[in-house]
Chain A
Amino acid sequence: MRWFWIDRFIEFESGSHAKAIKNVTLAEEHLHDHFPGFAVMPGSLMLEGMAQTGGILLGEKNNFDHIVILAKVPKIQFHRWVCPGDTLIYSATLLEARDEGGSVECAAHVEDRLVAEAEIVFVHLDPDDPQYGPADQKNFVFSMNLMGILDVGKAGDGSDE
């Protein structure tokens, strides 16, 4: 399994906002344990999806020069269940983007129903940082290896980008 919790971007406006979708399916192994007989998309994975949407938005603004790490979730609220067959739409708006990190405001919808809201703070990790050493690049999905998801996305005006 690869740690991709968004399937595709449907909107991406550099430095401003982005929308990504996640199709929830019974083929996902974990849904059979969460919960047996009552498959519900785990909230933690919705948060991960929102963090990937927002983290890529922040990373792209700086041409992915920094490794973007989820640092803090000051706010998260879940409103409804999300079940197999649902298409989650994660929208992220960039609140802050600075040298040392940034923050985003996110929402998750299924159709027009709001299912979750979050605020997420990211920090940048750079090669000259003393803590960079132990960090394994491969663990950081917000770095370049998620760019492939952007290939199928479209720019905010609907043109291929």
Chain B
Amino acid sequence: MATTEEVYEKVQETLIDALGVDDDEVTADATLVGDLGAESIDFLDIVFRLEKNFSIKIPRGELFPENLASADSSFVADGVVTAEGLEELRSKMPFADIDKFADDPKVENIQDLFTVNMIVKYVEAKLASGE
């Protein structure tokens, strides 16, 4: 069973390869889009690499859900994610820090939910479940 440290190091390597960033940039709190400059295309590349590096299967939308804000019109009001929308985020992204996001739940902040730490937690849970 891989330790958190081992998973973290491998996730770090994965992101260095996929995004061409330096290892000191890939901190646990770093956001993929804001801090590491990831674009939508990179998410697919990251998924491919994680699957290969950890020998896991990542179903479409499980790690990086698509169209989070536009899935249901009741999730967003005036550019802010509603309570209902927050619940949806919690269920779709159990490894993201939704509490922190809830402090300033603007739609444009949704991308900040994708952090290095979120990936590490996701992979750990995936490995633990033995899938």
Using a CB–CB cutoff of 8 Å, the interface residues on chain A facing chain B are 71-72, 74, 95-96, 98-101, 103, 121, 123
Main secondary structure of the interface of A (DSSP, over half): strand
Q: Is the CB of B45 within 8 A of A103?
A: yes
Instruction: List, in ascending order, chain A residues with CB within 8 A of B17's CB.
Output: 74
Verify if B122 is at the interface (C-beta below 8 Å from A): no
| Most A Cβ at <10 Å: residue of B41, B42, B44 | B44
Q: Is the CB of B60 within 8 A of A99?
A: yes
Using a CB–CB cutoff of 8 Å, the interface residues on chain B facing chain A are 17-18, 41-42, 44-45, 48, 51, 60
Q: Is the CB of A123 within 8 A of B44?
A: yes
Q: Is the CB of B45 within 8 A of A74?
A: yes
Q: Which residue of chain B has the shortest Cβ distance to A99 in the bound complex?
A: B60
Shortest distance between the CB of A92 and any CB in chain B (Å):
16
Q: Given that A71-B41, A72-B41, A74-B17 are known contacts, is A121 also in contact with B60, CB under 8 Å in the complex? A: no
Shortest distance between the CB of B10 and any CB in chain A (Å):
17
Instruction: List, in ascending order, chain A residues with CB within 8 A of B18's CB.
Output: 74
Q: Is the CB of A100 within 8 A of B60?
A: yes
Partner of A72, one of B45, B51, B60: B45
- Complexed CA–CA distance, A123 and B60 (Å): 13
- Between A and B, 16 residue pairs with Cβ closer than 8 Å are A72-B41, A72-B42, A74-B18, A74-B45, A95-B48, A96-B51, A99-B60, A100-B44, A100-B60, A101-B44, A103-B45, A103-B48, A121-B41, A121-B44, A121-B45, A123-B41
